[in-house]
Amino acid sequence: MNDENDENETDFDLRAAMATALGDRAGAWALVRGFAAYWGEPLGPRDGFTDAELDAAEQRLGLRLPPALREAYRLFGRRADLTSCQDVLLTPDELHVLDGALVYRAENQGCAHWGVLLDDLALDDPPTVGRPDLADKSQERWEPWEERFSTAAAVMAMSEKLLEEDELSVFYEAGDELPDGLEELPELGRYFRWFAGPDVLVLVIEEAFMVARARTEEALDTL
């Protein structure tokens, strides 16, 4: 890695990047780029799907994909560590329509799906919706999720990386207390709270589940 990349990684300000991500999709993509480089590997030209693959999906579905969705897929759609460690970002040829929404993501056991309402596909950065898989299918409904697709995509990238099962992630039991010495970060993501310490990032989901990730073995030992 060259010196310029090293400097960029060292200078990455997660708090500022998360706050900027709430403003527009350019900020969301800047967060994904900085986060990927600092907490894993920098994004590369082969980490996304091609325009041809996305065009083929549009032709198959008979609809236009929102610019924000296309941008996310082109930027990091193939990076499994940012899209599919726990839940799964569907590939372009897996995108499908379900009860008035374009489904782009699925819970790993099919217990929930996330999508964009067909009525919102004309928006550049449309809101997203979520839908649980219920025993009584008549009770299933699309419910509001994130206000912008770009926000949902950035949250996905960060949370999936923390949920990567390797030696740098720690999964806590229900009821465990938050580790000491952490600073709360800006709110980003429905039901999510983020905390950071030196080379450590912690995610609390719905106040019921907690996962932490360290950048180094030394930081992990301290955690």
Structure tokens at 192: 């999510």
pTM above threshold 0.85: yes
- Would you state the pLDDT for residue 153? 98
What's phi and psi for 23, nearest 5 deg? Answer: -85, -50
Domain ranges of the chain: 3-159, 166-222
Render each residue's pLDDT in the chain as its tens digit; 223 residues.
444 444 344 579 999 999 999 899 999 999 999 999 999 999 999 999 999 999 999 999 999 999 999 999 999 999 999 999 999 999 999 999 999 999 999 998 888 999 999 999 999 999 999 998 877 777 789 999 999 999 999 999 999 999 999 999 999 987 888 888 899 999 999 899 999 999 999 999 987 889 999 999 999 888 8
Give the Cα separation of 7 and 98 in Å (integer). 45
Other Cβ atoms less than 10 A from the Cβ of 28: the count is 30
CA triple 12-202-152, angle to 5 deg: 75
Domain 3-159 has CATH 3.40.1580.10: yes
Q: What are phi and psi of 154, to 5 degrees?
A: -65, -40
**How far apart, in whole angstroms, are the C-alpha atoms of residue 44 and residue 216?**
22
Region of 50 please: left (phi>0), alpha (psi -120 to 50) or beta. beta
Residue 24's region, left for phi above 0, alpha for psi from -120 to 50, else beta, is: beta
Nearest CA to 40 among 71, 79, 2, 77?
A: 79
Please name the residues in contact with 169: beta carbons below 8 A apart, sequence gap of 6 or more. Answer: 162, 163, 211, 212, 213
Q: In angstroms, rounded to a whole number, what is the distance separating the alpha carbons of residues 34 and 80?
A: 17
Q: Which pLDDT does position 206 carry in this prediction?
A: 87
What backbone phi and psi angles, to 5 degrees, belong to 198? -60, 110
